[in-house]
A and B are shown apart, each in its own frame.
Chain A
Amino acid sequence: GAVVSQHPSWVICKSGTSVKIECRSLDFQATTMFWYRQFPKQSLMLMATSNEGSKATYEQGVEKDKFLINHASLTLSTLTVTSAHPEDSSFYICSARGLQGGPMQETQYFGPGTRLLVL
């Protein structure tokens, strides 16, 4: 149990284009999903927290108009990097947490990550 998928695993795009990354919880319902970014040899950095059906909460310094997050269902959240630039190149990882009161209410399970390279 507790499988989270991410698609795509690799993206190479031109500067100025938009990229959408999908995160799905495959075998559980996730009321909360998290989006992280990790640069090489650095710690995980939380970008935003999204709850199903409501607006995402962004961490300080993360532009909400640039990183659009949608959490339309209990199993799917998407992150869209709009007008991507080379400095947005990074490893983007989502995680999902189960329903409050359920057996997986605390633990975050991570997707495999998406490598974004903006040329």
Chain B
Amino acid sequence: GQNIDQPTEMTATEGAIVQINCTYQTSGFNGLFWYQQHAGEAPTFLSYNVLDGLEEKGRFSSFLSRSKGYSYLLLKELQMKDSASYLCASMDSNYQLIWGAGTKLIIKP
């Protein structure tokens, strides 16, 4: 079956670093996506990895290991506005996204 696992909730401190992990099992693989969703709003695209390694984009970085079926989203210099849900999604062989349930990130001052 197809499955995406990510923690339900994480808490971190303003200014710190947090890593949100995601493991996936899908029928075929055409890339791993991370989206950010603030409460009451639609998701916004953060990153796309299709090759192994780390992709850095400002304060956010995303890592992929295809052999391990594993990805993480790294957020540095956390700000209060980073409080949101972070959705991991794997694209299967039919180019369909299989969504994780999301990780709610709580930032404390």
A8 on the B face (CB < 8 A): no
Q: Tell me which residues from 74 to 104 in chain B have a Cβ below 8 Å from any Cβ of chain A.
A: 87, 91, 95-97, 99-102
In the assembled complex, B60 has its CB within 8 A of some CB on chain A: no
Nearest-CB distance from A41 to chain B (Å)?
9
Interface centre among A44, A46, A113 (most CB of B within 10 A): A44
Partner of B48, one of A44, A46, A106: A106
Bound-state CA distance A112–B97 (Å) is 19
* B44, CB-defined interface residue at 8 Å: yes
In the complex, how many angstroms separate the beta carbon of B40 from the nearest chain A beta carbon? 8
Q: Given A43-B102, A44-B87, does the pair A108, B97 have CB atoms closer than 8 Å?
A: yes
CA distance A2 to B95 in the complex (A): 18
Cα–Cα, bound, A59→B33 (Å): 21
Is A35's CB within 8 Å of the partner chain B? no
A109 neighbours in B (Cβ, 8 Å): 45
- Give the complex CA separation of A48 and B95 in angstroms: 14
B-side interface size class: 20 to 34
Please report the total number of A residues contacting B with Cβ < 8 Å.
16
* Least distance between B104 CB and chain A CB atoms (Å): 9
Specify the chain B residue showing the minimal Cβ separation from A44.
B99
Q: Which of B50, B87, B91, B95 neighbours the largest number of chain A CB atoms within 10 Å of its CB?
A: B95
Determine if A113 and B41 form an interchain contact, defined as CB atoms under 8 angstroms apart.
yes
Chain B residue nearest to A92 in the complex (CB): B42
**Does A47 sit within 8 A of B, measured CB to CB?**
no
CB closest chain-A residue, reference B99: A44
- 25 A-B pairs with CB atoms under 8 Å apart are A2-B45, A43-B99, A43-B100, A43-B101, A43-B102, A44-B43, A44-B87, A44-B99, A46-B99, A49-B96, A91-B40, A97-B95, A106-B30, A106-B31, A106-B48, A106-B95, A107-B45, A107-B48, A108-B97, A110-B35, A110-B42, A110-B44, A110-B45, A112-B41, A112-B42
Q: Which 9 residue pairs spanning A and B have beta carbons closest together?
A: A113-B42, A110-B42, A43-B101, A93-B42, A110-B43, A112-B42, A44-B99, A106-B31, A107-B48
Taking Cβ atoms with an 8 Å cutoff, the residues of A that contact B are 2, 43-44, 46, 49, 91, 93, 97, 106-113
